[in-house]
Structure 1
Amino acid sequence: MSAPKSGITSLAPWYVRDQRPLYSHITTATTSHKIITFAGQVGANEDGTFSPNQSEQVEQAYRNLSQCLDAAGATPNDILKLTYLVVNYDPNNRVHRKPTTEFLKGHLPATTLIPVPALASPEMLFEVEAIAAIPEAPLKKVDVVVVGAGLSGLQAALDVQKAGYSCVVLEARGRVGGKTWSRDIAGGKQDVGAAWINDTNQIRMYELCRKYGLKTVTQNTMGRIVMEDPADGSFHTFPYGGVPEKEGEKGGVANMVQVRDLFESLCHKIDVSDPVGSCKALGKDYDKMSMEEFVTSEGGGKIAHGTINIWCKAMLGLEAREVSCLFFLDYCKSGGGIMAMRSDRRDGGQYLRLVAGTQSFSLSIASSLSPNTILFNSPVRNIEETSEGVHVTSARGSFLARRVIVSVPTPVYHEISFSPPLSETKFKLSRGTVHGYTAKMIIAWKEPWWRRFGLCGLLQSAYGTFCVTRDTSVDSQGLYALTCFSEGDAGRAWSRLSKDERRAAGVDHIRRAFGPFVGGEDKVPEPIETIEQEWWKDTWSQGCPCPAMPPGLMTEVGSALREKHGSVHFVGTETAYEWKGYMEGAVRSGERGATEVIQALREEGKSSAAAKL
C-alpha cells in the first residue's frame, strides 16, 4: 500500500562541480515512464491577483505547480527538470531557494535558473516550469476497479474482496482517507476533515472503533457557549444545551425556537428513500425555496435567520440562500433530525473523536485489504464501457474491469470522461450540485484557557471569520486546541487573504469573541501552533463536507443520485440514506455499492455458467 516507485535517477557527472544538495546536473527516467510537461507557473492567486512580495509569489507559484502535479497524478519526486525565471535576481538574496527546497523535499532534479528583467506582466516576479515523468503499469484485468480511497471506496473494496473478487483501488492522492485527514500539531493529531462520530446511532463507525481498537475522546460540552448575536453582533454566553438568555432583538429567541421546532417537525416527515414524493404531503413545495426563503415564509426574525444561516454554513459550508429547503430537510432527516445532527452530546453528530484522528479509520480498513490493492497518485481520467468490459485509464496505468465503483463527489465527476456519456439526468445532477466553502483552522495553546472561565470552547458566530469553534483537545496528550470553521461567504473572503493574514484574522476573532468573558482580549494567550485546510482548493474534493443541492435540483434530477451507469456504480457520503455527509454515511454507501456490484457479478456468473450448458 504505497505510491509507485519512481524510475527517476539523479546523476553527478565526473569532473563537473557537484551541486548537490541544491540540484543535479542529470536526471534520467526508464522507458516505462510517461513524460508530462507543465506550463510555466507564476505566483498568481486563485483570483488572478499577485502579492507585491517576491517571496510570497515564489511560494504561490510552487503551490500552483503542486496543483498541476496533482492533476496529472505526479509528485515533486517525479520531476525531471525545473526551470525558474527570477525577476531582478540577487545572488546575495536568493528568495527562491528555501521555497524550492521545501517543495522538492530532498528530490534533486536537473534545474536551470534564468535571471530576467521582467516577465509577461509587470506584477509577475517569479515563474517556474517543470518536466516530469511517471511510471505506467501495463494493462491489468480485475473484477472491480474502485475509484477513490476514501471511506466509501475502501469499504466497498473490502466487501468486494471478502466476496472473493479481485479489486484494485485507484487513488488520486498520495494517501488514503479522502476527507479523513489527521495532521500533526502540538505533539498530537487533529482532524482537518471529518472528525466526529457517536456510539449509538452511528453503528458502523463505532463497530470500526471496536474492531481496530481505536481510542475515543468525548466531546467537551461542560460550560457555556459564546454567541455572537445575529441581531446586533454583540457577544454573550449561555449554557450548553440551552438557548440564549440575552437577545439583541425583542422576542427573537422565542421566534427562533418556533422556526427551529417547525423545521424539526417537518424534517421527521421526510422519507429519505423518496424525499420529493414525501414532500408533496407537506402542503408546500419546499424544493422551490431556499432555506433563507423558508425562514422568511415562517416569519423568522434576525435571530432566526442568523441561527439557520449558521446551521447551513456549519453543516454544508453554504449560506442559507444557496441551499434547497427540501435538500436540507432530507439531509437532516438522514441524521435523525437537526437537533441530533447539531448536538455534541450522546446520540449527536459531534459526540466522540479519535485520539489518533479519524484517518485511522481509513488506514485501518486499508490495512485489511489484500497487499498492493491501492495504487496512489493515480487519478482516473477515462472510464469507457466496451464489449470486453470497462476500460479504466488512470495516470499510472490502465485496467479492464467487469464493474467499476466511483466514490468521488458528484461535482468531481467532470474530472472523468465517461464513454458512453452519463445520462442527461446524471450529468445535470453532477453539474448542479454545489460544494460549499469549508475551511478548518486548528489553533493550539499550552493550556485550555477557556475552561478556567467556565466556557466549553463552542462559539457560534453570525458575522466573524469563524462561524463555529469547538474544543478538540486531547488532554491525555497535553494537546489543547480549538477547531475553528470558516464557512460560506466569510470563508470565501478569508480565503483571499495571505496565509499570515488568515492566521491573524482567525486569532483576532477568537480574542474578540472570547475576550469579554476571560478578562479581556489581552488575556487570550498567544497560540503555540496553527494549521489550516481549505478543502475547496483540494483538486480531488473541491469542497467539504458534502455536495448540496440548490432549489429545484432535487425535484428535477435528484432520483439519479444513486443510479448506476451501465457497469459503473456510484457511492459516497452524499448518496447515503443515513447520516448523509458524515463518515457513517460514507461507510454505509460503500457497503451499498459493494452489494450492488457483488450481486451483478454473481448474476453474470450464473448467466455465463448457463450459457456453457
Structure 2
Amino acid sequence: MVDTSPWAQLFKGNRTMRHGTSVDNPAEVIDVIVVGAGLAGLVAARDLTDKGFQVAVLEGRNRIGGRTFAREVVSTTQKVDFGGTWVIPAEHTAVMAELQHYAIRSVPTPLPTHFITELDGMLSDKGFLFESEIGEMTRAFDVIARRAEPDATADGALRSIGLDAGLLAWVQATQRYLSGAPLTDLSGVDCSGMSPSDLANPDHYTHTIDGTSQRLVDAIAGSSQATLLLNTEVAAVHTTVDGFAVLDRARNRLVARNVVIAVPLNMLVDIDFRPRIPAATALGESRHAGHSVKLWMTVRNVVGWPRLFSASGPIAYARLERQLDSGDAFLVGFSDDPAMANASASEVQTALQAFLPDIEVLGVDAHDWNADHFARGTWMAPRPGQLQQVGALADLSYTNGIHFSGADLCVGNYGTIEGAIVSGRQAAARISDQP
C-alpha cells in the first residue's frame, strides 16, 4: 500500500485498470474508492486489489488502523493496544484465518487467580454465573425478544419482566464493560440477542494478537496494492453519471465506479451524501451508545492475577494483564464514564482501593476515543431502534449503490475485530461479484 499525493498524481504511471483497460488521464474514473483505513477498509482494499481492481483508500488520520491502535504506555517501553485487542479463537474464524495467513500467533490472556465482584453494593468472590442463573437469563431474553417494543431500553425490558435483582445487577455490570454504556442507553431487543453463556463469563474474550493488533493491521496493509492517501478527510460522496464523486475537505475530487464507506457510524453525519441517505444521517446524529474508556494502569502491591467486576462506580472491569520486570504490573480496565479518560493516578487508585485496598497506582494511560474526531465513541453499542437503521445500510437500493462496511455494521459480530474483517470481506465480495 503506497501513500500518494496530491490527488492529481494519484495513478500517474499506473495505466492498468480492471479488465485490462488502459487510461491516459490520471484523473480517469477508477474502480473503487474506500473511505477509511481501519481494518474493514484495509481488508476490502486488499481483497479488491487481489482481484485486479484499482483501489484508492482515503483516510482522515495520519495513520492506518482506525480504532485499532497500539503504542507504548506513557513512561514505559511497553507497547499495548489502546483500541481493539481481544479475540476468541474458537469463534472468530475470520480473524484466525488472517493470523494464519500472515503467520501471526494469538496469545492467551493470563487467567485470573481470584475474583472481586461488586453487585448492589456488596463485594463477593463470584466469578461466573451458575447454570441455573444462565437458564433464568435465557428465559428472560427469550421473553424480551418476543415481546419487547423496538424502542424499549435494556433496563426497561429487563425490569418489565421482573428479572431477579442479582441477575439484573450482573447484566448491568457486564454491559458497562462489554458495551461501554448503562442499560438505560442500550436497546432491549439487542440485549436479548446476546448469548447468556457469554454474559455469564466476563472473561470470554480469551486471546490477544502477538505483537499487538497493529501487527495484523500492518500485515494487511503491506500485502495490498491499493493506493493510500492519509490526512484526507472525506467531506462528500455524490452520485454521478460515471459512478461516485468523492470530495475531501479541500474540495479535491476523485471519481470511482464503486465506493466503500468504512468509517465509524458516529462519523457518518459528517459526510454529505447526495442523494441523501436518511439512515446514515440519523445514525451519525444520534450516535450509538458505546463510550467506553480503556485504561492501562501501572500498579504495585497486587497479589496474584485479580479480576474486578462491578455494577457501579468508576471501574466496570479490570484485570491484571502483564507482570513487568521491575516487579510492577499492568492492570487493564474499562469504565463507562467518559471522564475517566482524563482521570489522574490518584483518582484511579481511590477507585481501585474499593476492591484492592493495598494497590498503588503509579501511572494511568488512555486514548480518549470519545473525544477523538475520527471516532467519537468506541465500539458499536446499539440504542433502541438503531439496528433497524444499520440493516437499511446493507440494502444497496436504499444506499444508492454505496457499500457500507465496518465493525459497527456487522450484526452478530459488531464492535469486534472479527466484525471488521468479516464486513470488509463482504464489501469486497459484493463489488467483485457484480456483473
TM-score (norm 1): 0.62
Question: Secondary structure of the equivalent of 1:205?
Answer: helix
Identity of aligned residues (%): 21
Structure 2: gaps spanning 5 or more residues: 10-25
Higher Rg: 1
**Residue type matched to 1:435 in 2?**
A
Q: State the 1:432 CA deviation.
A: 4.1
- Match among 110, 114, 129 for residue 220 of structure 1: 110
- Match among 556, 579, 583 for residue 413 of structure 2: 579
Query: Is 1:168 matched with 2:45?
Result: no
Take 2:111 and 2:371, find their aligned partners in 1: how far apart are those partners? 32
Q: 1:3 to 1:374 in 2, by over 3 A?
A: closer
Question: Secondary structure of the equivalent of 2:163?
Answer: coil
Q: State the 1:390 CA deviation.
A: 0.9
1:562 counterpart residue number: 394
1:314-354 per-position Cα deviation (integer Å, ceiling 9, x unaligned): 12222101111112234x2xxxx242366466xx3x11012
1:512 counterpart residue number: 354
**Residue type matched to 2:60 in 1?**
A
Q: 1:154 to 1:263 in 2, by over 3 A?
A: farther
Which one scores higher on RCO, CA 8 angstroms, separation ≥ 6? 2
Q: State the 1:507 CA deviation.
A: 2.0
TM-score (norm 2): 0.85
Q: State the 1:221 CA deviation.
A: 2.2
Q: State the 1:553 CA deviation.
A: 4.4
Take 2:379 and 2:42, find their aligned partners in 1: how far apart are those partners? 18
Q: 1:376 to 1:553 in 2, by over 3 A?
A: closer
1:536 counterpart residue number: 370
Q: State the 1:594 CA deviation.
A: 0.8
Query: Is 1:145 matched with 2:33?
Result: yes
2:67 counterpart residue number: 179
Q: State the 1:504 CA deviation.
A: 2.2
Q: 1:216·1:355 contact (CA, 8 Å) conserved in 2?
A: yes
Q: State the 1:399 CA deviation.
A: 1.3
1:196 counterpart residue number: 86
Q: 1:384·1:419 contact (CA, 8 Å) conserved in 2?
A: yes
Question: Secondary structure of the equivalent of 1:513?
Answer: coil
Question: Secondary structure of the equivalent of 2:295?
Answer: strand
Q: State the 1:166 CA deviation.
A: 0.3
1:460 counterpart residue number: 309
Q: 2:296·2:330 contact (CA, 8 Å) conserved in 1?
A: yes
Take 1:358 and 1:476, find their aligned partners in 2: how far apart are those partners? 23
Take 2:164 and 2:339, find their aligned partners in 1: how far apart are those partners? 26
Q: 1:418 to 1:305 in 2, by over 3 A?
A: same
1:21-66 per-position Cα deviation (integer Å, ceiling 9, x unaligned): xxxxxxxxxxx9xxxxxxxxxxxxxxxxxxxxxxxxxxxxxxxxxx
Take 1:536 and 1:439, find their aligned partners in 2: how far apart are those partners? 8
Structure 1: gaps spanning 5 or more residues: 7-31, 33-137, 244-252, 268-278, 516-520, 604-613
Take 1:262 and 1:187, find their aligned partners in 2: how far apart are those partners? 48
1:116-155 per-position Cα deviation (integer Å, ceiling 9, x unaligned): xxxxxxxxxxxxxxxxxxxxxx846421000001111111
Q: State the 1:209 CA deviation.
A: 1.9
1:229 counterpart residue number: 119
Query: Is 1:261 matched with 2:138?
Result: yes
Q: 1:317·1:436 contact (CA, 8 Å) conserved in 2?
A: yes
Take 1:174 and 1:479, find their aligned partners in 2: how far apart are those partners? 33
Q: 2:314·2:340 contact (CA, 8 Å) conserved in 1?
A: yes
Query: Is 1:322 matched with 2:159?
Result: no
Question: Secondary structure of the equivalent of 2:239?
Answer: strand
Q: State the 1:265 CA deviation.
A: 5.3
2:230 counterpart residue number: 376
Q: 1:216·1:353 contact (CA, 8 Å) conserved in 2?
A: yes
Query: Is 1:525 matched with 2:360?
Result: yes
Take 1:477 and 1:259, find their aligned partners in 2: how far apart are those partners? 46
Select the structure that is richer in helix. Answer: 1
1:67 counterpart residue number: none
2:297 counterpart residue number: 443
Q: State the 1:502 CA deviation.
A: 3.5
- Report matched runs for 1:344-359 at 5 Å: 348=204, 350-359=205-214
**Residue type matched to 1:584 in 2?**
E
**Residue type matched to 1:562 in 2?**
A
